[in-house]
Structure 1
Amino acid sequence: MASRILNLSLNFYKTDYTLLLFKSITYPDTFCVNTVIKSYALFNLPSYGVGFYFEMLRDDGVYFRPNCFSFPGLISACGRARELGLGRVCHGHVVKYGVGGSLFVENSLVYMYGGCGMSGDAWSVFGGMCVRDMVSWNSMVDGYVKVGDLGRAHRVFDEMDERNVVSWNVLMTGYLDGGCPGNVLKLFREMVGEGGRGNDTSVVSVVTACGRSCRLKEGRSVHGYVVRMLAGVSLIIGTALIDMYSRCGRPDVAGVIFGGMLIKNLVCWNAMIAGHSIHGNPKNGLELFDKMLKVGDLIPDEVTYVGVLCASARLGLLTEGKNHFLHMTEVFNVKPNFAHYWCMANLFANQGLVNEAVELLKNMQIDVNMSQQSSLWAGLLGSCRFKGDVVLGEQIAKALIEDDPLNHSYHVLLLIIYAVAGRWDDASRMKCTMKERGISVPGFSLLELMEIVNSLDVGDKLKDSIYGLHENG
């Protein structure tokens, strides 16, 4: 009876309550111990789970003999938390106690090694499995996707005798994150052609791919698929469609979708504000922002203010832009990032206040380690396009370099500005200059930088929010 109550507690209580109930049991057995381990795994606390596991092995008052149910959840949690060391410890005990032949254990090991970026180890486990199911194959595809080996991921995908929606989604998401939107569209067509029925994740991936590559025709086709095949436009699909139509130069259509949504959250509002501010009429973006502030339960975040400050810069609203920046930091406690500073710098410079723009960027209160944030900076420079931004950006970057020639990040800023503008000869010369001056050059080639510029922008932050919304709801 006590064991049943302990197991039921997983559905209603957090780990500490489950542990409290466990301690109240006079003679806990393997089932009870496994239940607490499962609790730690469900709440993504693998280190506590492993610690509890070893504590139970040493406790003479507990009858605990590890079995095939002791490890799968814990090993999978190690994969989600990227705790490779703990995962290997669990693998060692799987071997020690002879439970490695369990399909559930083997699947968790494939998932764990793949999640930790050890696709070779995942393949070793996968290759040694006598029986494989859909989870085994999907985990292997996902493992290769996580290390960016899309070629092998696709080959494993092609070898599958049958696929489910997770199979398609894993590979489509891999191609989307890998900057190959055309492959996402191709996979989606294959899935539909084979009679597959996508879910929200499938649609978000393909709609995002259409937006990134400005494929309006294909985006409309997917929109039609949603209307025909799915019960309705959900919140996350509606948000993705708003982003796609905006990127494709149709914020008017995005506005119709936004207006027809019965439920709206911050991510949805951000998509529409950015759609107007960056891709359409920035005045509409600011008006929509004012409307959002009147919605009592919505608090603007850093993504909201990228759109707001971009709109202010595009309209040349110096006073309003400065007020928005002040409210962002002092009223809503949003910490400025490079996107906000870049918008403000453009706002200053386009009003003839280049020195103020230089001073603003020079005194940014953020980590500007370009070797880590180069792709983010390139994406933001590529998305927040202002009138004369290339010449202006070059002017600002050169002024920063002249003022502080030893600051490596300013050199990389100029390099990325050239890349965003497609001035690859200037970018190449800049890299050579940096090498001559002993300045560390970011670890990417010009080809890789070109791919960054073509694939990344402020919408990536929005995309992450959309996926986060789906995973949490």
Structure 2
Amino acid sequence: MADRVLKLSMNFCEIDYTLLIFKCINFPDTFCVNTVIKAYASCSLPTKAVGFYFEMLEEDGVLFKPNSFTFPSMISSCTKTKDPNLGQKCHGQAVKVGVDRTLQVENALIHMYSGCGLNNTAWKVFDEMSIRDLVSWNSIVDGYVKSNNMEASHKLFDKMPVRNVVSWNAMMKGYLDAKNPGLVLKLFRKMVKTDVNMNATSAVTILTACGRSCRLKEGKSVHGALIRMSMDVTLIIGTSLIDMYSKNKRPDIANIIFNTILTKNIVCWNAMISGESIHGNPKHALQLFDKMLKPPNNDITPDEVTYIGVLCACTRESMLEEGQNHFLEMTKRFNINPSFAHYWCMASLYANHGLVKEAVEFLKNMPVDVGLSPQSSLWAGLLGSCRFNDDVATGEQIAKALIEDDPLNNSYHGLLMIMYAVGGRWEDVTKMKCMMEERGVSVPGFSLVELTEIVHSLKAEDYNISMLHKYG
């Protein structure tokens, strides 16, 4: 009876309760010890799990003989520490006990070594396995995906004898992180043809890819599939739908979905505010922001992304005073450190009012540690929408003024290159690249893919895709 209660307590991750019951058991056996180890591992306490293991080896009155069920959860949990030493210590014990060649232990070792970035060691375990199951294949593929080695992971993926939704999700997420939404959608089409149904993780990845690549038709298709599958529109799926429809210039549909979500978090609010400010009605974005700060939503605290949307809305509506007030509110009331995106919005706002000199001075006063690399599609959409009322020449003027004032500042060169990309002036982009190479100026983060993301929010007819390849 005590054993059953012990196992039940572990299911609820009540580690203190589990230990209390364990101490009440006379002469606890291997099953009891394994249960406590698994409880520690499930509660993300790998060091405690390993420590308890060694403690029980030396404890008098404990009938503990480690077996193949002792190690899998303990080894897998070591991934969370990102320190392979703890996992290697467990591996050594598994070898000593003689269970290191059992399937469950080998799968746990692959997961642990891959998660700690030791793909060569993970591969050695995988390569020496006498029997492999789907978990083995998924673990090794996911390990290479997480190390950004998509070439190796795809080769292994192609060799898999059987795939499930976890296999497809790993590959699609990898290509999404590698900023290749086109390949995400290509994989998704193949997955559908193999009769593998998507789950919530698949849906979020695919919808994000549809948003980044402006594929409204496919995004709608995924939305329709979710309805047909009667899949619950969770907060994360709902937010992904809002983001997808917004980036595809349908904030009206995004707003309908937004209103159906009863409990919203800051990510959800940000998706809708940014969607309206960049792709829809900026005034509605500001109304949403005001609503977010009032009851019953006043437990939501705005963050850096929120204010990118707010300031972008002010820029699109040429609301200088409101923009200034929001910038001050962001820094003073909410203690948010402005990023380059916030400074860029304010510079755009000044320039839209003909205050180019003030715009230049505002950017010159940025802290030196403010980064310029475009890391998100939101950043890209921002530059696409806040481009001085379509007057790229004004942005060029500001960037050149900054370079003249500080010619050694790499960020300003990158800014000018971005302005040319936003304006579709790809020949000037190429000239800038050549000039920077000649002068030895390095601007990290401005690859073809990222420049493509910068202009992705513009209408397709605004630029020629072939030009991206020609000047990349």
Q: 1:361 to 1:6 in 2, by over 3 A?
A: farther
Q: Deviations over 1:45-102 (max 9, x none)?
A: 3344334444555656765543323322222222244323322332233223221122
The answer to whether the aligner puts 1:376 opposite 2:378 as a matched pair is: no
CA shift for structure 1 position 314: 1.2
User: 2: CA distance between counterparts of 1:391 and 1:92?
Assistant: 65
2:276–2:282: 8 Å Cα contact kept in structure 1?
yes
Question: Does residue 284 of structure 1 match 2:284?
Answer: yes
Partners in 1 of 2:454 and 2:35 — Cα distance? 43
Residue of structure 2 in register with 1:273 after alignment:
273
One-letter amino acid of the counterpart of residue 317, structure 1: M
RMSD of Structure 2 on Structure 1 (CA): 3.3
Partner of 1:72: 72
Q: Is the 8 A contact 2:339 2:370 kept in 1?
A: no
The equivalent residue for 1:466 is none
Name the counterpart of 2:355.
Answer: 353
By how many angstroms is 1:9 displaced? 3.1
- Per-residue CA deviation, residues 136-168 of structure 1 (Å, 9 max, x unaligned), is 121122122212233332333333333322222
Q: For each residue in 1:384-438, what CA deviation from the matched residue of structure 2 results, as whole angstroms up to 9, or x when unmatched?
A: 3213474444433443444444544444444444455554554455455555656
Q: How far apart are 1:276 and its partner, in Å?
A: 0.9
Cα distance in 2, alignment partners of residues 53 and 381 from structure 1: 51
1:440-459 matched pairs, under 5 angstroms: 440-442=442-444, 449-455=447-453
Task: Give 1:116 shift.
Answer: 2.6
How far off its partner does 1:241 sit? 1.9
Verify: 1:302 aligned to 2:304, yes or no.
yes
* Structure-2-length-normalised TM-score: 0.83
CA contact (8 A) 1:376 1:457 kept: no
Where 2:291 maps in the other structure, the secondary structure is: helix
- Aligned mates of 1:4, 1:232 — CA distance in 2: 34
**Is the 2:282–2:313 contact (alpha carbons within 8 Å) kept by the matching residues of 1?**
yes
5 Å-filtered alignment, 1:172-183, equals 172-183=172-183
Give the letter for the 1:239 counterpart.
Answer: T
What amino acid maps onto 2:198 in structure 1? G
Larger displacement relative to structure 2 (378-387 or 272-281): 378-387
Q: Distance in 1 between matches of 2:135 and 2:266?
A: 34
Question: In 2 relative to 1, CA 247–36 (structure 1 residues): closer, same or farther, beyond 3 Å?
Answer: same
Query: SS state of the match for residue 369, structure 2?
Result: coil
Partner of 1:467: none
Segments of structure 2 that go 5 or more residues without pairing to the other structure are 458-472
Choose the corresponding residue for 1:338, options 318, 337, 340.
Answer: 340
Q: Is the 8 A contact 1:379 1:457 kept in 2?
A: no
C-alpha displacement at 1:17, in angstroms? 5.3
Q: Distance in 1 between matches of 2:286 and 2:150?
A: 41
Q: Partner of 1:203 in structure 2?
A: 203
- 2 CA distance for matches of 1:136 and 1:85? 22
Q: Secondary structure at the match of 1:384?
A: helix
- Would the alpha carbon gap of residues 378 and 198 (structure 1) be closer, same or farther in structure 2, given more than 3 Å must change? closer
Which position in structure 1 is the counterpart of 2:464? none
AA in 1 matched with 2:91: H
Moved more, 386-395 or 110-119: 386-395
| Equivalent position amino acid for 1:308 in 2 | V
TM-score (norm: length of structure 1): 0.83
Name the CA shift for 1:155/1:273 in 2 (closer, same or farther; >3 Å).
same
Moved more, 315-324 or 78-87: 78-87
Q: In 1, Cα distance between the equivalents of 2:231 and 2:339?
A: 39
Give the distance between the partners of 2:51 and 2:341, measured in 1 at CA. Answer: 43
Corresponding residue number in structure 1 for 2:45: 45
The separation in 1 between residues aligned to 2:25 and 2:368, in whole angstroms, is: 52
The answer on whether the counterparts of 1:278 and 1:384 sit within 8 Å (CA) in structure 2 is: no
Q: Which amino acid aligns with 1:171?
A: M
1:377, 1:257 → 2: CA distance?
23
- Measure, in 2, the Cα distance between the counterparts of 1:210 and 1:93: 47
